Amino acid sequence: MKQKDVLIIGGGAAGFFAAINIAVQNPKLKITILEKAKEGLQKVKISGGGRCNVTHAEFIPQDLVLNYPRGEKELLGPFHQFMTGDTIAWFEERGVALKIEEDGRMFPESNTSQTIIDCFLNETKKHQIEVLYSQTVKSILKEEGLWNIKTQDEVFIAPKILVATGSSPKMWKVLETLNHSVIPPVPSLFTFNIKDDRIKDIPGVVAQNVEIQVVGTELFSEGPLLITHVGMSAPSILKLSAFGALQLAKLDYKFTIAVNFIKMDYQDCLATLKDLKLSLAKKTVLKAPQFDLPKRLWKQLVLASVIQDDNRWADLNKNQLEALAAQLTKAHFKVDGKSTFKDEFVTAGGIDLKEINFKTFESKLHANLYFAGEVINVDAITGGFNFQNAWTGAFIASQYISK
Ligand SMILES: Cc1cc2nc3c(=O)[nH]c(=O)nc-3n(C[C@H](O)[C@H](O)[C@H](O)COP(=O)(O)OP(=O)(O)OC[C@H]3O[C@@H](n4cnc5c(N)ncnc54)[C@H](O)[C@@H]3O)c2cc1C
């Protein structure tokens, strides 16, 4: 049996960040990270396409929380304690400069996640944090005021532990033995599979700003839309998949979406089309894209409105104008299944937020049991927000663990 002051279960983003910050605040503590894999930080390595989207250039906590379908309310207080700006400063103090991309995502200037990994490994060495690999935690028990942690071949004890095992179903089972409730995991952040003649020949086309509603629900989003080889993607779809993760799982990923490609009311659009019929009378409809829509998309929507290749604006009858207005402002598409977004598996679900004290990230059921990262029922849309959740939770927990 090995006694430590602090045991961190899980050597991922949250686990390493917590261990280093505990050591900074209290160098006397014996800290050990138990990691089941042969190497730690594997998700950091593959994150952001190998570049690691560390955080997001959003510096107002009230706006930052809007990116978290689960955790919006709970993370507001924590973000007032440790924000994106603190993340940037933390890495800069350790020689890792971050850069901002046009869409607000932040990456190491080196453009490789290895920089983040090297930073963490250097810090663990510097602070003499023990990292034990190939140690899969199998059980967690409290005995005589100490935590007793069993791995496949060792027993560790410590007064304080932090669980940072990410979306691990096995660890959620272990945590249920401590009476914690786990919100069942479902995928978040995915693209929609759609087979439809209107989009089958135009992969790669982007409509810059659309509105999408899942028909029969309140689920709604807006933003860019990308037509792909298998359906639709880009922020408007990803946001729907994240905010609708639970509802869409219940629908077994079979539902209908209504897309407003031009963010215009149907009646206003119809009135505009009637004006165009007069002003562009002699022009061929197909060859005169309107509303800043990409040519190829305009063509598909026009053809879907039973307008012929050579029809001029003046030829259009009432039915055709109405059909085109409908295609532009409320085009229905049947979604049948989902695909992973760039291999970025994000899971909604985890330890019930009601059971965590968000001032400290300590369990409300057990003293000296802390959580950080994806193990709790928090997840975000793509953009660096998932890591920010890991950094914030780990930092705040570290302040209390080190006391
Ligand atoms: C391909 C991909 C790309 C991503 N890109 C980004 C991005 O660019 N930006 C962003 O913000 N988010 C991104 N994410 C999400 C982000 O990686 C996670 O939100 C983040 O890693 C969560 O950190 P964590 O420490 O909670 O969990 P993890 O990083 O998953 O770490 C958990 C660790 O615990 C270990 N573990 C599990 N069970 C046990 C056990 N029983 N005993 C011991 N150890 C155990 C695991 O092996 C793992 O090392 C990406 C995810 C994926 C899959």
Instruction: List the structure tokens of 374.
Output: 């994806």
Q: pLDDT at position 346, please?
A: 83
What digits encode the pLDDT tens for the residues 366-388? 999 999 999 999 999 999 999 99
Q: pLDDT at position 341, please?
A: 83
* Ligand 1 atom closest to the CA of 384, numbered from 1: 11
Question: Residue 135 Cα, ligand 1 centroid: separation in angstroms?
Answer: 16
* Ligand 1 atom closest to the CA of 13, numbered from 1: 25
What digits encode the pLDDT tens for the residues 98-124? 999 999 999 999 999 999 999 999 999
Question: Residue 375 Cα, ligand 1 centroid: separation in angstroms?
Answer: 9
Question: Of all residues in the chain, what percent carry a pLDDT higher than 90?
Answer: 97
Q: pLDDT at position 305, please?
A: 97
Instruction: List the structure tokens of 286.
Output: 């197909």
Mean pLDDT of the chain: 97
- pLDDT-derived band at 332 (thresholds 50, 70, 90) equals very high
Ligand 1 probe mutation, 112, 124, 386, most atoms within 8 A of CB = 386
Ligand 1 probe mutation, 20, 38, 47, 173, most atoms within 8 A of CB = 47
To the nearest 10 degrees (0 to 180), the angle between helices 385-401 and 84-93 is 70
Instruction: Please state, as a whole number, how many other Cβ atoms lie within 10 Å of the Cβ of residue 3.
Output: 12
> Of 71, 52, 82, which is closest to residue 381 (Cα–Cα)?
71
- Kindly state if the Cβ of 344 falls inside 6 Å of ligand 1: yes
pLDDT > 80? residue 74: yes
Question: Residue 271 Cα, ligand 1 centroid: separation in angstroms?
Answer: 51
Rounding to the nearest 10 degrees, give the CA dihedral for residues 215, 217, 221, 222: 40
Q: How far is CA 147 from the centre of its chain?
A: 32
Q: pLDDT at position 342, please?
A: 79
pLDDT > 80? residue 345: no
pTM, to two decimals = 0.93
Q: Computed over its alpha carbons, how large is the radius of gyration of the chain?
A: 25
> Of 384, 357, 292, 322, which is closest to residue 53 (Cα–Cα)?
384
58-67, 269-278, 294-303, 341-350: least confidently modelled range: 341-350
Q: pLDDT at position 98, please?
A: 98
Q: pLDDT at position 343, please?
A: 72
What digits encode the pLDDT tens for the residues 186-218? 999 999 999 999 999 999 999 999 999 999 999
Q: How far apart are CA 403 and CA 398, in angstroms?
A: 9
Number of residues that this document lists for the chain: 403
What digits encode the pLDDT tens for the residues 75-102? 999 999 999 999 999 999 999 999 999 9
Averaged pLDDT for residues 333-353: 90
Question: Residue 268 Cα, ligand 1 centroid: separation in angstroms?
Answer: 47
Output the residue whose Cα is nearest ligand 1's atom 45: 10
